[in-house]
Amino acid sequence: MTTGGFSPKRLSRVRELLDHHVDAGFAPGMVAVLARHGEVHIEATGTLAFGGAGSNMPMTGDTICRMTSMTKPITAACAMTLVDDGTLRLDDPVDDLLPELADMTVLADPNGPLENTVPAHRSITLRDLLTFTLGTGMVLAEPGTVPIGDALDALDQPSPDEWIGRLGSLPLVHQPGERWMYDTAADVTGVLIARATGRSLGDALRERICGPLGMKDTAFSVDSESIGRMSTAYQRDNAPTGEPVVEDGPDGQWSRPPVFEAGGSGLVSTANDYLAFALALLAGGS
């Protein structure tokens, strides 16, 4: 056993698993970070890209990766700091800060026409946002089969104010608090945080979460000094001719600040940064 209680045999199995995926061409590189009883162990293998920029740079604990939905816990933690300091309350309506979501209507039939609605029984609360029960979210349906699914897919992500206005113009799929629906609530929480703090979501996260925890590489974009540490994102399936297909390179979407800082999926971070956040949760938020 190591100092922290890690099994060397099982750590080698982690390494074998990462090597297997890299050797099979699933990804150019992989990194895993583990912590136990104060000991931190990082396993990294491969490079930041299959070819081109980053193809000779090894994957490390400081490699910058797109966090996608692992953005959601950081957004939620930031919202809870606002509850902690009394700026927000879990069970108060969000109507004052998000008037676009006040007096909502709800579909009479979740699969039916958008015009067939009933009034919402009550207002949406922060608790609804954090538990993904505000009444709307990801609709898993084939395009053209469920009207509200098509309408939600067409929202895009313009400025936060325009996006929340578009969302509020649609009926809810279910009554607030009635049913869990994935994804959208985290983006709404991000808009709420920005309005409650009078700052952008990125600035609020930096001030309340990332700065205090030393998460220097966690943000909604990557600056020019750090872009060389950013991994290339690939589509899951290769091209018909067999080569990997780039979905987003270091000079792509995250190389510049976004118009919409998405609280549900927009952050980049590193294994080291995200470990700091996870350890803070493990310590009860301290």
Percent of the chain with pLDDT over 70: 99
In this structure, the answer to whether residues 168 and 133 fall within a common structural domain is: yes
Q: How far apart are CA 230 and CA 248, in angstroms?
A: 11
In this structure, the answer to whether residues 185 and 237 fall within a common structural domain is: no
| Cβ–Cβ < 8 Å for 219, 106 | no
| Cβ–Cβ < 8 Å for 162, 63 | no
| Cβ–Cβ < 8 Å for 2, 37 | no
44 φ, ψ (degrees, to nearest 5): -140, 140
pLDDT given at position 104:
98
Which range marks the domain in which residue 53 is found? 8-63+221-256+270-282
pLDDT given at position 5:
81
Tell me the pLDDT tens digit for each residue of 105-137.
999 999 999 999 999 999 999 999 999 999 999
Mean pLDDT of the chain: 96
Query: Does pLDDT of 2 surpass 70?
Result: no
Mean pLDDT of 150-159: 94
| Cβ–Cβ < 8 Å for 125, 118 | no
In this structure, the answer to whether residues 185 and 245 fall within a common structural domain is: no
In a domain, 113, yes or no: yes
In this structure, the answer to whether residues 230 and 174 fall within a common structural domain is: no
In a domain, 125, yes or no: yes
In a domain, 205, yes or no: no
Single pTM value for the model: 0.94
In a domain, 211, yes or no: no
157 band by pLDDT with thresholds 50, 70 and 90: confident
Which residues are part of the catalytic machinery? 69
Kindly provide the residue ranges of all beta strands, DSSP E only, lying in the chain, ordered along the sequence.
Answer: 29-36, 39-46, 65-66, 105-107, 117-119, 233-234, 246-248, 268-269
Tell me the pLDDT tens digit for each residue of 43-97.
999 999 999 989 999 999 999 999 999 999 999 999 999 999 999 999 999 999 9
CATH number reported for the structural domain that contains residue 154 in this entry: 3.40.710.10
220 band by pLDDT with thresholds 50, 70 and 90: very high
Q: How far apart are CA 90 and CA 137, in angstroms?
A: 20
Query: Does pLDDT of 1 surpass 90?
Result: no
pLDDT given at position 3:
59
Tell me the pLDDT tens digit for each residue of 173-188.
999 999 999 999 999 9
Please give the C-alpha separations between residue 142 and each of 109, 115, 219, in angstroms, as whole numbers.
Answer: 17, 20, 33
